[in-house]
């Protein structure tokens, strides 16, 4: 996770975020270091970022600008939007009041634990 100012463009954090991805666990043997593909919205639609993601061994699935909606990425995007809405359900995270980064990250971690717990309880 990377914490930046609210006025920073998301694209500036694309490559550092990919570099922070931990090894993907799965089958026995050597764990994969990178995911197979990356889904992104139209804000990341530039050949420079597509090439950079491909150079890391990840297939970019980025929606193209100027094309009609219905690229199929919305099927995956709603999961992210729903999770962000769950975080905003926590009053303390809706607006960032803390000046220190470590306190804000601690509240994010606590909210993640609460959201995960609620999800597990609902499934049982």
State which residues of the chain have pLDDT below 50.
none
Query: 42: burial class by Cβ within 10 Å (0-12, 13-18, 19+)?
Result: middle
Considering the domain architecture, whether residues 65 and 79 belong to the same structural domain is answered as no
Considering the domain architecture, whether residues 40 and 54 belong to the same structural domain is answered as yes
Considering the domain architecture, whether residues 16 and 62 belong to the same structural domain is answered as yes
Q: What is the reported pLDDT for 69?
A: 67
Considering the domain architecture, whether residues 85 and 48 belong to the same structural domain is answered as no
Query: pLDDT tens across 38-60, in order?
Result: 888 777 888 888 999 999 888 98
Considering the domain architecture, whether residues 33 and 80 belong to the same structural domain is answered as no
Considering the domain architecture, whether residues 47 and 18 belong to the same structural domain is answered as yes
Query: pLDDT tens across 111-123, in order?
Result: 999 999 998 998 8
Considering the domain architecture, whether residues 85 and 52 belong to the same structural domain is answered as no
Residue 45's domain comprises 1-69
Terminal C-alpha separation, the chain: 29
Number of domains in the chain: 2
């Amino acid at each position: 996770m990377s914490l930046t100012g609210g006025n920073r463009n998301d694209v500036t954090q694309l490559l550092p975020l990919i570099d922070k991805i931990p090894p993907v666990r799965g089958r026995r043997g050597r764990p994969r270091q990178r995911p197979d593909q990356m889904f992104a919205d139209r804000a990341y639609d530039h050949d420079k970022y597509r090439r950079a993601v491909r150079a890391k061994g990840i297939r970019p699935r980025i929606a193209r600008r100027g094309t009609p909606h219905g690229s199929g990425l919305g099927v995956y995007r709603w999961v992210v939007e729903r999770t962000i809405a769950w975080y905003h359900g926590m009053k303390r995270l809706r607006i960032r009041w803390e000046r220190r980064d470590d306190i804000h990250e601690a509240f994010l971690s606590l909210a993640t634990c609460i959201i995960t717990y609620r999800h597990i309880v609902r499934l049982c």
